[in-house]
Amino acid sequence: MSLVYAKNLEKHYGTDVVLERLNFTVEAGEFVTVVGASGCGKTTFLKMLLGTEALSAGELALNGASIPGEPGPDRGVVFQKYSVFPHLSVLGNVMMAEELARAPVLGKLFGKRRRRAREAAVARLGEVGLDDALDKYPHELSGGMQQRLAIAQALMMRPRILLLDEPFGALDPGIRGDMHELITRLWKELGLTVFMITHDLEEAFSLGTRVWVFDKVRHDPQAPNAYGATITYDLDVDRNRDMKAAAAATLARGASATHPATEEV
């Protein structure tokens, strides 16, 4: 049974169709990167996986069951911004998951149990290179450090799926390289299934085992929102290095131009 499965998945806002005819299966352990013009519905798609947006039509299954209508600990997430809690120290942010699990009433651990949670958190922070900054607050960290923290935090409860919405979009080019290395390592070590949205084609191809390009295939000039975007390319990276050019062309053109009918991928 595949981990994630979609059949004719659609999303509308009122009469605007954002996404339509999404069909795919994703197996456990895949690294799916999603690219597409701004506003084409990538974030909306991620939110459906997360459970914060309802489907409008079709099916979306996780582990063979319909996807839950709200976020849960099986799906970790890292956003571009606001991903960590500003009121908690680095350590506090990473210990949070364990505290929530073990202290249902106060949501805080004390004494021995706290020490144990702390050890686990310190170990994870070591993995992402933040062991020097345990007691700092997010506002004292650089953008790159904040995103490392967000990743460490998201992975504490060992979710099966990790969802990333342009996690490195706000970072400097130099720092991005380190982050790529980090995420690849964690993906492999923890056996994660990753969905990552990015604007950077380079990044999409170097990180993903599978690259999806979202675009509109049908277009009505009178009603620009009558048709939604779908997966126009579904590229297996190892086999399709040469398809990168095609994807780049789609991206460069943006969502405003019409598209040759490429309904089957």
Ligand X SMILES: Nc1ncnc2c1ncn2[C@@H]1O[C@H](COP(=O)(O)OP(=O)(O)OP(=O)(O)O)[C@@H](O)[C@H]1O
The residue ranges that bind a second copy (CB under 8 A) are 37-38, 142, 172-175, 177, 199-201, 251-254
224 binds ligand X (CB under 6 A): no
114 binds other proteins (CB under 8 A): no
Say how far apart CA 133 and CA 112 lie, in whole Å. 22
Query: Among residues 59 and 200, whose Cβ is nearest to a second copy?
Result: 200
Tell me how far, at minimum, the Cβ of 128 lies from Mg ion, in Å: 24
Strands 161-165 and 229-236: unpaired
How far, in Å, are 71, 82, 207 from residue 37 at the CA level?
26, 23, 19
Query: Among residues 41 and 138, whose Cβ is nearest to other proteins?
Result: 138
43 binds Mg ion (CB under 5 A): yes
Binder of residue 70, out of ligand X, other proteins, Mg ion, none (CB less than 5 to 8 A by kind): other proteins
Tell me how far, at minimum, the Cβ of 154 lies from other proteins, in Å: 7
Among 214, 221, 219, 222, smallest CA distance to 198 is for 214
Structure tokens, 37: 């013009």
Say how far apart CA 143 and CA 175 lie, in whole Å. 9
Say how far apart CA 31 and CA 208 lie, in whole Å. 5
- What's the count of helices (H) and strands (E) in the chain, helices before strands? 7, 10
Tell me how far, at minimum, the Cβ of 37 lies from ligand X, in Å: 7
164 binds ligand X (CB under 6 A): no
Query: Among residues 16 and 189, whose Cβ is nearest to ligand X?
Result: 16
Binding mask 54-73 for other proteins (x = CB under 8 A): ---------------xxxxx
Among 5, 124, 103, 122, smallest CA distance to 55 is for 5
156 binds ligand X (CB under 6 A): no
Say how far apart CA 31 and CA 26 lie, in whole Å. 9
Residues that bind ligand X (CB under 6 A): 13, 18, 36, 38-44
Residues that bind other proteins (CB under 8 A): 50, 52, 69-73, 75-77, 79, 81-88, 96-97, 99-101, 104-108, 137-139, 153-154, 156-157, 159
Residues that bind Mg ion (CB under 5 A): 43
